[in-house]
Structure 1
Amino acid sequence: MNHDTTTTDRRRRRLLRWAAPALGVAWLWPLAIAFAVSEPTGGEIALVAAGLATFGIVFLLAADGRALAVTVPALLAIATALTLTADPAFGWLYAWPAAAATVRLDRGRAAAVLVATVALAAAAMAAAGAPSGVLLSATGGVAALGALWLVIGRLMRTSEQLRAARADLAELAVAEERLRFARDLHDLLGHDLSVIALKAELAGRLLQRQPERAAEEIGVVSDLTRAALRQVRDAVDGYRRPTLASELAGARLALDAAGIELRVEGDGAPLHGEVEEVLAWAVREGATNAIRHSAARHAAIVLQACGGTAELEIADDGRGAPGAAPSGHGLTGLRERVQSIGGTVEAGARPGGGFRLKVRAPATPGPSATA
């Protein structure tokens, strides 16, 4: 089972458990009515109480998704027994097996279970001699509550599909970037490596017969190798040297894909190239932390440049980091980059909840700051 499915199941269980107080009212209310209109014996009270307790236990098992093929029919059987033997008002109990089934099953099967449950409730209440008003209100209530849970289950499945689609899009973006990098390397090195291979082979053939010519070819190979190495370094530097604008755009896309709303504030003042690069790395690190660790819903990036100082703050409303700030490789590398231009990094939990990353750097790079 994947992470998204596990999360959705957990949410369904939590939602059904939150319904437990309403369940208690629903099954105690008809009991109160039955006691008000009749004088049950102690044995009858004990029997009904045992039936209700069993119903509650089985419902909690169904809410956890355990053996729905067994627990839902068991709930229907208990509801039918109480309706026929105790009081027709217990027909309200049919709403709960309908809820446990419809919130988990696909739309077709959930609708079939709901129709069957409403029909069974109507038949049991009619057989128990329920007045027409009670029968209509109870079966209508069961149908309405079942339909509500059917919609809730549909919304949960749609939300699960959206999260899966976002994850797929993120993976596709990574794959596309890798493919682009591979194409660029091929364009850069394909020709040079082919020439190097030919020259090296030629030098090997000439080594015994024409050593001077072989030495010349080896010199050409050496020159081509150094040129290729420079090209690789330039390409890697180009990939590793982010801009603030590109990282802000990338952070917005990544956070949006993770369901986190991003707010960006800043004066857009031009920054020194090295300072901008460091702040761009800070944006990437802050966005990565928000996505991986915080379970946030909102995030904000604020950039200010005044008085010879550039300041970048990234904050979210997620879980934050209890105690000391996290010390992962990402933050460690960021601290080293910022300190190399004379800046400082603050990272840790916010007093009101969430996590904050703040970077201060001189507008013009200076010597390394001391720790």
Structure 2
Amino acid sequence: MLRARPADVISEWFGVDDDFERSPADPRASYRHDVWLGLTLTVLAVVGMELSRSAGYLVQAGDHPAWLLYVLSGAGALPLVVRRRYPLAVLAVVYAHFLLVGLTVPVVAMSQVLQVVYFMTLYTAVAWARDRRAMLIVVTACLVAMFGWLFWQMAVSSGMQEYAESEGLLADPPGFLSPLDAMVAQTWLTNIAYFLGAIALGQVTWHAARRRAQLAEQAATIERQAAELGRRAVVTERLRIARELHDVVAHHVSVIGIQAAAARRLLAKGDAGTQDPQVPLATIESASRDAVEQMRGLVGTLRDIGDDGGTAAGEDRSPEPGVADIGRLVDADDGLDVSYTLVAEPVGAEGSVPGALGLSLYRTAQEALANVRKHSTARAAGVTVRVDRRPVADDRRFRGGYAEVEVVDDGRARPGSSGSGLGLVGIRERVATHHGLAEIGPRVTGGYRVRVRLPMPVEGP
């Protein structure tokens, strides 16, 4: 197994070849906040310099006028107003300021506020730079310059020596190392922690932002795929409805043809006929109305279909089930106790349910029971079919009465067995075909309910 080279590890950690470019979620608000932050730190830098001067901390500042100290302090913090818009340029400008001021007026560069500014600038460059390769180059150059300046300051400064002599540390060293060696080591350790801490914090922030962007992209992809699966499920279900309604309508058209031929023969016989020609004509009228209503719903539902589809090979072409067949769904011996109830008003009204409505009610019950068996902890379920020919006063859709099926259970969702939800999409598509109502969801008292109510055709002319 080949070990990765250190350069490759560093390049990968800093995201040198990564396509991700971090940018604020709300650029205008973020840049406005940067302006306020930069101006606040500029004011604090100037105020802090005056406080240090007034407290006598700037004895070594020499003959530099106060206004120059204020200008240099403010100039070090002011570039932060554009820190996230131009992170690398701000880093270069601020650290160039640090070097120039540190070599000429060190007391300014050592002020507490500017120390915070230098840390924040380095952090921002690592966390927000869009060109990671350029970031690595600029940050490396700044670190070399900073540690070079630190080495130069230690080489030419006698402050540590004077401090050790004044405290008598050279004559009686208190620790294992000499005082001068300990001071030098402590200075280097502090600066290493300072600069590398800013870099590490910035890079961790950048990785977190990249991870959030990846998760957001994955969530968007999953949402698109789910929408596509839902759309395909709708198309598949509509094609299935089309085939089923085709069989029902074809039946009505065949009846119309047969009854029309019978009426023509009866009319041709005139008074010699023994059967009233009004009977086949009434049958033709009823069948044609039923066929037109079903075709109208079919066209309305399938208007937007754009995919090609056809009958699957080997598809069962036996007569489509209806309301009378729903009772057979409870006979499955799979451990689920299913009860069946039929309520008809008037008695025998279930026989007047059109074939298309009966088929939709049957498919609804079939899908609901399948969901209970696959995805629920229920031990019992109930199937109720209601057919009522009385008009519903508050809903004109049901002025001819309604036919409905209701499936309820006493369980809850089984862990780890959640379905795709596409079966429920199919139920809603069938309901939309017939302009009915659907109630699908958990019950307040526990369990789950699927109830579908479809309008019955109006009786009479």
| Smaller-chain TM-score bracket | 0.3 to 0.5
The structure having more radius of gyration, on CA atoms, is 2
TM-score, normalised relative to structure 1: 0.46
Q: Which has the higher helix share?
A: 1
